[in-house]
Structures are given as C-alpha cells and as structure tokens.
Amino acid sequence: MRRSLLLPIACVVAVFVAGGITWRHLSSFASTKQQVPHREVPPPIPATLGAAERKNVPVFLDGLGTVQAYNTVTVNTRVDGTLDKVSFVEGQKVQAGDILAQIDPRPFKASLDLAIATKAKDEAQLVNARLDLKRFQQSGTLATTQQQIDTQEALVNQLVATVQGDQANIEAAQVQLDYTTIRAPISGRTGIRLVDQGNIVHAANTTGLVVITQLQPISVIFTLPQDEVQNVIHEMEASRVPLMAVAQGRDDRRTLDTGTLSLVDNQIDPTSGNVRLKATFPNAEYALWPGQFVNVRLQLKTLDNVVTVPSTAVQRGPDGMFVYTVKPDTSIAIQPVNVAQMSQGVSVIDKGISVGTPIVVAGQFRLKPGSRVQSVPGTAEAGGK
C-alpha cells in the first residue's frame, strides 16, 4: 500500500519541478528580451554640400611691400638772398612750374642791368672800329701802311669777342635772376615747410625749402622668395602685357589699388634669400601713401579649365589631404586628393575627384566614413560660388 501511494506522489512532484524549471526559463527569456534595446538608425548630420567645378583660376604670389613715392624732390635755393615770399601751403598739390617762393631779386636785377649796359658800350666801340677799318681799307685815305690796316682788323675782332662775352654775362645774370623765383620741379604734394619767410637762404644749404613727393602714380617695393625669380622673369618675357599686381591692406580684406609689375631687382639679398620687385599703381584715390606697409599679390598666370573645390572642403589627415564625397544614399566616404594650389578660397585639384562629384564643403567636424548627411545652406555652398 505504501508503494502504491509513493508513485502518484512522485509523479506530482516531478510535474511541479518541471513546471518550475520551464517557468524560470520563460521568465529569463522575457527579461532578456526586455533588456535588449531596439537599434535605431542615427539621424543625418547637417552639412554644407557642394560639387567639384571646372573653372579658370589665377595663380598669385604674395609678398610684403612698402609704398614709395614715384619721385621725391627736395626743393633747394640756387642763389643766396632773403626769402621774400612763400607761395605754397603745406600739403598742397602743385603742378610742375608752379611758383613756390620768391627770393629778393633786386641785387640780381642790378647785375643784369650792368651786363646789358656793358654790352651796349662795347657794341658802340665795335661800330666805330668797323668804320675806321673801312676808311683804312680805301686807297688814298688815312692808312699809310698795311700794318695799320691789320691792327685795325685785330681791334674789330677783339671788340666782337668782347660783345659776345657781354652777351654771355647777360645770359648768366638772367639765369641768376630767374633763380630768385623758385618753381616746383615736378607735380606732386608738398610736405612740411622747412624755411620760413624772411630768412636768409644760401645755395650751399642742404636742408631745402620743402620736399615734394609724386603720388600719382606711386610705387611699391615688395619681396618674393628667390625660388620664384625664374618663374616671374619667364612670365614677364612670355606675356604681352605687364603682370598685374594688387595692393591690399594688412588684413588682406580691402583692395587698395591695382597696378602692374615694373621690374625685378638685379640681385638677391643674401641675408634673407628674397628678391625685391617694384610695382607701379595709378593711386587715383590716394589709397597708397609713402611709407605705408601693404600686402602685394602678383598674378603670375592663369590656370585654364581646371578642377576646383572650395578650400574649406579640403581636409588634412595622417595620409595627406582628402575630401568627403557624398554617395547617392547620402552617406559619405573619404577620397584622397592632390591639391595643386590654394588661393582666395579655391583649391585646384590635380588628382582624386572629377567635375560634378558631390562633396562636403563645411560641417566636417562631426563626420566619419559611413555617416549620412543632410544638406543645409552655407556660405561656401555650390562649389564656393
């Protein structure tokens, strides 16, 4: 009887044990299923998109320059005397030939009058000597010997030379008198007056009365590395027109004037390894001033029909330069490129991408290969236009 009772009890216990094990497995599976999160696709990253373009790109060389006056003249006196009048205003624009000052002319006028009177006296003596010679040469007149005739001829020739000397003295006196009126030798702008009216001035003084600088046109002396000398000379000889030079402010944001390259210096500075160049600018608005520091951009040549991208699209990596290209599914990939030059926000691509390739122009800091992007407006969008 005991055996008959143990069998049902064992079956019931086995059923309960099996049910407990099954319940624990189901609970564990359900718990695990709840703990595994649902994988969501990350949202697109905003970025400015563009495309590689084909265009003509100018090649510039940049140098630091100093503005110099096209001509500078220190106006000096050429005769001694009292400065009676100053006719210019400091900082005034003057034209060549304008009267700047006046020295007391009276002593020089007296010297001129004396020279004129001396010539008149000698001319009268010459006229009388020629009359006597004519009488001596007539037969049967005063002359008794050939010696007297020859002597009279010599006197005439002497008086002729004296009159010529008198004329030279008149011209010299006239020049000295003209020097009392001081005129502007060039067109330009006057500086600070160096001598005041009423002072005694001397031709030997080195200070001068005023300095005149020619500002239109004006020159800029700038430097370039010695490695660029041959390129510049080659382009100067190959071009039919002078190479263009652009003068910019120290911040490179404002163009002051546009001119042309005048010359390349005939030697390289051994201490710096740079060569000096000179450019000429019309300076119509007086944006350039002597002594001013400017940045000069020399247009060496133009690259025709090359592949370009905005410079903001080019990134630097451990393996060199690259750009982020955009696939049709809006995901991105890294594309290595060879950059020929970067200038004014445009990069010329030698190798790596073709025209029309979609690229990321701005907003790359959050990107990595495989990221999806969403186009947003930007200043460099559409190929840097």
Q: Do 228 and 284 sit in the same domain of this protein?
A: yes
Q: Are 154 and 162 in contact (CB under 8 A)?
A: no
Pick the last residue of a domain from 302, 337, 366. 302
Q: Do 262 and 314 sit in the same domain of this protein?
A: no
Q: Are 346 and 337 in contact (CB under 8 A)?
A: no
Domain membership of residue 6 as a residue range: 1-40
CATH, residue 282? 2.40.30.170
CATH, residue 98? 2.40.50.100
Three-state secondary structure call for residue 157: helix
Q: Are 51 and 335 in contact (CB under 8 A)?
A: no
Q: Do 95 and 111 sit in the same domain of this protein?
A: no
Q: Do 278 and 319 sit in the same domain of this protein?
A: no
Q: Do 216 and 292 sit in the same domain of this protein?
A: yes
Predicted local confidence at residue 383, as pLDDT: 43
Per residue in 311-332, pLDDT (tens digit) is 998 999 888 899 999 988 888 8
Q: Do 51 and 10 sit in the same domain of this protein?
A: no
Q: Do 330 and 375 sit in the same domain of this protein?
A: yes
CATH, residue 347? 2.40.420.20
Pick the last residue of a domain from 285, 302, 319. 302
Q: Do 155 and 219 sit in the same domain of this protein?
A: no
Predicted local confidence at residue 363, as pLDDT: 84
CA-to-CA distance for 188 and 217, rounded, in angstroms?
Answer: 10
Shortest CA distance to 261 belongs to which of 228, 212, 290?
228
Shortest CA distance to 216 belongs to which of 287, 117, 115, 308?
287
Q: Within the chain, which residues score under 50 in pLDDT?
A: 1, 29, 32-33, 36, 379-385
Strand partners, 66: 221, 293
Q: What is the pTM (predicted TM-score) of this model?
A: 0.69
CA-to-CA distance for 192 and 288, rounded, in angstroms?
Answer: 19
The DSSP code for 43 is P
Predicted local confidence at residue 141, as pLDDT: 58
CA-to-CA distance for 299 and 260, rounded, in angstroms?
Answer: 10
Name the amino acid, one letter, at 40.
Answer: E
Q: Do 98 and 124 sit in the same domain of this protein?
A: no
The DSSP code for 379 is T
Pick the last residue of a domain from 191, 208, 225. 208
Show the DSSP H helices in 180-330 as ranges: 229-238
Q: Are 324 and 364 in contact (CB under 8 A)?
A: yes
Shortest CA distance to 375 belongs to which of 360, 364, 365, 385?
360
Q: Do 193 and 227 sit in the same domain of this protein?
A: no
Predicted local confidence at residue 29, as pLDDT: 47
Q: What angle do CA 29, 31, 35 make, to 5 degrees?
A: 115
Total count of domains within the chain: 5
Residue with tokens 């080195």: 206
CATH, residue 164? 1.10.287
CA-to-CA distance for 270 and 356, rounded, in angstroms?
Answer: 47
